[in-house]
Amino acid sequence: MSLSKKKILIGMTGGIACYKIPNIVRLLTKAGSEVRVIMTENATRFITPLTLETVSGNPVAIDMFPSDEFVAVRHIDLAKWADLTVVAPATANFLGKAATGISDDLLTTIICATDGPVMIAPAMNPNMWQNKVTVRNFEFLKSELGWTTVGPAEGMMAEDQWGVGRMSEPEEIFETITQFFSQKKKS
């Protein structure tokens, strides 16, 4: 399945796994996709917007209401624009907000406004991943809202702890996106 001309919105939340996102964007753009990136304020603490602008070829959006540009209904426009919205890394904070409809930043507002498909790649400390509230939120997004999920994987975490909670590797996320569009074409 070709990803040529697919419009993919990447939503980044604040986690150390942000360092993997430029590789995902590069794989998608190399496959012919148009990629736009939304970063939460916390995501910008792990990687710069300039890095994502460089690999995507598009401006990165962070603020809901930036003072230096006209945005009107950007959250609605981006929600309608995307063929697929991918949130990676998807932190426990994001899962909780998305599962309860909290829309307090640009990314969660876009998620609330979209009626298109959403894919999440969770990434967090194993204790956070196993927390009953996180499990409930993840299961709700997956089973009740029908979101596609990839990971998390088991491995060494940033804090030298082994466990489940590591974000899937860029190649696996890319492959899951490719499979998503292949299955969509068949139906």
pLDDT tens track for 122-176 = 999 999 999 999 999 999 999 999 999 999 999 888 878 888 999 999 999 999 9
Take residue 27 and report the two structure tokens written for it: 């794989």
CA distance 67 to 74: 14
Residue 64's closest CA among 56, 73, 55? 73
Antiparallel, parallel or unpaired: β 148-149 and 118-122: parallel
Least confidently predicted of 24-33, 111-120, 145-154, 178-187: 178-187
Name which residue leads in pLDDT, 33 or 65.
33
* Secondary structure E strands in 13-66: 34-39, 60-61
Give the pLDDT confidence score for residue 9 in this predicted structure. 97
Question: Tell me, what's the pLDDT at 104?
Answer: 93
pTM of the predicted model, to two decimals? 0.92
Which amino acid is residue 116, in one-letter code? G
**Number of C-alpha atoms within 13 angstroms, CB side, residue 153?**
13
Q: Report pLDDT for 78.
A: 79
d(CA 86, CA 9): 6
d(CA 86, CA 135) in angstroms, rounded, equals 19
Going from the N-terminus, what domains does the chain have, and what CATH number goes with each?
7-186 (3.40.50.1950)
| Contact predicate 171/161, CB 8 Å | no
Percent of the chain with pLDDT over 70: 90
d(CA 78, CA 60): 12
- Residue with token string 């990136």: 37
